[in-house]
Structure 1
Amino acid sequence: MAAWDLSVTVEDLGPDAPPVTISVASDLHVGGVIVKLVEKTQIKRDWSDHALWWDQKKMWLLRTAWTLEKYGIHADARLIFMPQHRPLKLDLPNGKTVITKQYRPASVVDKAHINGRWLDSSRCLMQQNIQENDRLWLRFKYYTFYELDPKYDVVRLTQLYEQARWAILLEDIDCTEEEMMLFGALQYHISKVSQSEPQALSTNTAMDDLESALLSLEVKMEGESSSATELLETMTAPELNDYLKIFRFKGSRKDEVLGIAPNRLIRIDLGVGDVVKTWRYNNMKQWNVNWDIRQVAIEFEGNVNIAFSCVTADCRIVHEFIGGYIFMSTRSREKSDVLNQELFHKLTGGHEAL
């Protein structure tokens, strides 16, 4: 059994305080290390939110029953004893300050670069170098929605609407003029209904005309498309619900754009923006990620195999989007459908989440 002196930085002692040195053995569990630290500091306070952070490995030592030997911690480990929860600035989709200052993509390439900034849902914020008082932007990530009830989900619906509205106004997404006009008409209609008295609506000729036009449009849509998914497929690409990544096929020297939609992958020509090829998830047999060389390999029915590496984003983001949308496709619209978080993390977490 090996024994040594372990130096631990205690954040509560201040930035200029030297590390606290304690004598430990390889069979000492993490909880025992914390007890020694608390006794050595002689500070009386609530330590329940504190934990040990391993700086080199970028991980919390949360399994307090594990020994130092099991974690692989030696004398050269840089450990920090600090609170797990910290203040964070979170901007909502309708935040005017963020909207006016955010970078506006001028091309498909710019959009692909921006879409490489999604955080990993399987890792904590500190593992992704998010520090105290950093600013994050809350966004709807998967464009497949469940359990939205106007009576109980007003906040979620409002944020979803604001995200879509500002994405159109700032030309962050591509859409046709008809789609933009439809969105504006719906916005006007909802605004008037929410602000007007019920009696006044029946006497408003303009509102009656708009109501009739929207009803006619709704009937036309229902006749042409049996579902919202089919309706989205008639829209121009890249669609409202695409996330773009620049990638390079295995054996190719040419960079291309990959659009990730709720039901398929879209290969887009980087030069002109035209759709070259689409692959549907329901034809996918399996997908794998080689975490060592950062390459995604996908096998489809009909002996179709593709492999590519990501240029503007980590391959983890592509893996997470594919797994997330496949998980969404397995869900039922019934109220009794319980969210299977374990399956979601299994499909999106990948090798690095283990």
Structure 2
Amino acid sequence: MAYLGGADHVDGSWELNVLVTDLQVERTLRVLGDLHIGGVMVKLVDTLDFPMDWSDHALWWPEKNRWLKRSRSTLDQYGVQADAKLHFTPMHKNLRVQLPDLQILDNRVDFSSDVFHAVQHLCKELGIRHPEELSLMKKFDKDDLKKNIKENLNQKEKKKKGKDAKGNDSLAVNGNRTLDHNSQNSLDRLSPYNRSPKGPSPSNTLGHMPGTPGTPGSPYNTLSPNGNMSMMNGTMSPGSMYSLSFESAMESALANSPPVSTKDAFQHLNRPKSFLEKARVNYAWLDSSRSLMEQGLRDNDFTVLKYKFYNFYDLNPKYDAVRINQIYEQAKWAIISEELDCTEEEAMMFGALQVQVQLQSGSSSGHDMVDGLNTTEGGGDDIDAALSDLQETLEGSNLSSPGDITHIPELADYVKFLKPKKFTLKSYKRYWCSFRDTHVAFYRAKEEATGTPINRINFKGCEAHPDVNLQHKKYGIKLYIPGPDGMEEIWLRFETEEQYCRWMAACKLASKGKTMADSSFETEVQSLLKLLSMQKTSSAPENKVITPNNLDINPEDFIPPRHFKKVKTKQTVQRIFEAHSNVRDMGLLEAKLAYIRAWQALPEFGVSYFVIKMSNGKKEELMGIHPNKVIRMDLNSGDSIKTWRYDSLRSWHVNWEVKNVILEFEEGKVVFSSLSADCKVVHEFIGGYIFLSMRSQDKNQTLDVELFHKLTGGRL
């Protein structure tokens, strides 16, 4: 109520209630609406008879779910009135983060900054370059995959807010909220270390990095139960925390992850069984433009750090040991948990590469594990050459191919062709095919190649999926060609693997609107040949196909379950060892990079699914967001209906009133609503991929955060 001064003068002041979460005390301040937020905090601290650093504290408005961080803005400008109850709480709080390799990190994170900045700072502490490729997800139960997750999680958030309002769950001693005991034990079993009952420490999870918020001596340090931090083998003093040995141990643990059994990992991995469940997983991504607190996260909550955008830029073994390992680990668990489908030969190849990684991790010295290179032989020139080869393999050479620059490359071969139709027998027809630019011309025979073709198809914008079975010498490509009525499916079959690799490389370039004159064509061909060579069964005698030290492995930890169940354990192990003979000479990082390249070659790689309904449609469909295109798909079969590439995208935004995503392409407008996730999540995927495609070749470029938010914000 207004304060009555002398001579019945009303000064317009009113009482504001503020809870200091660190002390669990409430203060009532008499304020005016024109008092700025900074003044409120100064006035509040003056009433507290407790000497400590309050610089990391800010005002949080639980009812409105927002931070009051603009210190010069007034209470009136924020809309704060006498009925408001504010919290004075630390901006940096503890967050439990599960990394792609399933290790669990306890870290102090700024809960008041947007998620994009929070991930940036987190990756900086972990030594991961290009943090724009990662983001945070909420942790949700496996049962959520079988339900309408959007409604289910909304109900959970309402219950959580209800508990926060009552103060039963959100505030404990020192303002910290603890996890449920059973949930805590479940998470600790996931960690490759044994968790101490006393609390988080780097002996069980990855602890705080030296100099980070929350460590002794940090300007962000707030009240803690004992004022100490448990370290590797006991309690370390603040001075000893800053040792280089701790940083080295952290980097080693992140660059070479401790093994986790599949049995333990499966308790915490999402294992979607259908496209619908794969789409529901993407609901859990946090909004990059909002803070952690605004999205329902509180002190000591559990989140998942994963690679969200599958556009890996400048993978460099010299600087990216941690980054390469985390990408490899995410790829490994995606394969083993069957998030992506792979053939039996590919499964054995993945298992063999995983065996090689484990062998190299065990035999490498600390220096070799970080650098990923064997420096005992050769000089600096050999190392630089190896790095250049790996770089060119991943990105393609920037050098033009020698020879006549006016020459237009062409592929001309006898190819078996089939246009599959329902309820008809499959029969391939053999044609002489000429692949030039992005067009393929079909002739009945080679002698007719100078005349008019019987058919001519433009492969620009196509989707090319491998259809290969090395055991039966089957080399094929399944193609989806854009047409006026949607995507038309055709199958091509080849006689040799080299023929297949050249056509597949040409199809991949044509899908991007490029021709075989592009400098990356030969690199792509060699990459495909190497990928096939790793899948071949060794012809060496059985006694020669044994891994070093007669390695005893559990095939369940290396092979996806459906391939493991087909044959006996002994036979599966032997097949893994046979495939291992093709990769046994690879170094540690070379094997990880080979695993990543093989993962990238899978047909479903890089596609994030969403259940949608077109503005003029009546049934639910699937929308796949790819690093360079958007795919409209059938919800049950996953077949492509229509594809739009980003290079023809003029504008993209969200109609917030009706929650529609609007994409305007050169050929027309696409409008749809998202049913499995918020429309902002879909829009952020599209804008994020466009942002990543704009990164230049300048390795020293700074991250344009403002541009990222502009492209992903959903506004016109």
Instruction: Give the shorter-chain TM-score range.
Output: 0.7 to 0.9
Matches within 5 A, 1:91-102: 91-95=98-102, 97=190, 99-102=265-268
Cα displacement (A) at 1:184? 3.9
Is this contact kept in 1: 2:652–2:714, CA < 8 A? no
TM-score normalised over the length of structure 2: 0.43
Which residue of structure 2 lines up, in the alignment, with residue 170 of structure 1? 337
Matches within 5 A, 1:137-286: 137-190=304-357, 195=363, 224-225=504-505, 226=520, 237=603, 239-286=604-651
Deviations 1:299-326 (A, max 9, x none): 1112x21111110100010110000000
Structure 1: segments with no counterpart, 5+ residues: 202-216
Aligned counterparts of 1:287 and 1:81: Cα–Cα separation in 2: 39
Which of the numbers 9, 14, 26 marks the counterpart of 2:19? 9
Aligned counterparts of 1:219 and 1:91: Cα–Cα separation in 2: 44
- The 1:223–1:186 alpha-carbon spacing in structure 2 relative to 1, beyond 3 Å, is farther
- The 1:185–1:68 alpha-carbon spacing in structure 2 relative to 1, beyond 3 Å, is same
The residue type paired with residue 349 of structure 1 is G
Say which one has the larger Rg: 2
Aligned counterparts of 2:46 and 2:331: Cα–Cα separation in 1: 53
Aligned counterparts of 1:350 and 1:56: Cα–Cα separation in 2: 25
1:108 aligns with 2:108: no
The residue type paired with residue 122 of structure 1 is S
Cα displacement (A) at 1:87? 1.0
Aligned counterparts of 2:286 and 2:498: Cα–Cα separation in 1: 37
Aligned counterparts of 2:314 and 2:498: Cα–Cα separation in 1: 22
Which of the numbers 656, 678, 682 marks the counterpart of 1:314? 678
Identity %: 47
Cα displacement (A) at 1:271? 2.1
Structure 2: segments with no counterpart, 5+ residues: 1-10, 104-189, 191-263, 366-373, 378-496, 506-519, 529-596
Which of the numbers 321, 324, 330 marks the counterpart of 2:694? 330
Is this contact kept in 1: 2:653–2:715, CA < 8 A? no
Which residue of structure 2 lines up, in the alignment, with residue 287 of structure 1? 652
Which residue of structure 2 lines up, in the alignment, with residue 339 of structure 1? 703
Cα displacement (A) at 1:100? 2.5
Matches within 5 A, 1:43-82: 43-82=50-89
Is this contact kept in 2: 1:324–1:344, CA < 8 A? yes
Aligned counterparts of 2:321 and 2:27: Cα–Cα separation in 1: 50
Is this contact kept in 1: 2:16–2:85, CA < 8 A? no
Is this contact kept in 1: 2:653–2:714, CA < 8 A? no
| RMSD (CA atoms) | 3.2
Deviations 1:89-114 (A, max 9, x none): 11112227273222421111111111
Cα displacement (A) at 1:336? 3.5
Which residue of structure 1 lines up, in the alignment, with residue 257 of structure 2? none
Aligned counterparts of 2:17 and 2:503: Cα–Cα separation in 1: 71
TM-score normalised over the length of structure 1: 0.84
Paired residues, what number?
332
Helix, strand or coil at the partner of 1:88: strand
Helix, strand or coil at the partner of 1:296: strand
Which residue of structure 2 lines up, in the alignment, with residue 24 of structure 1? 31
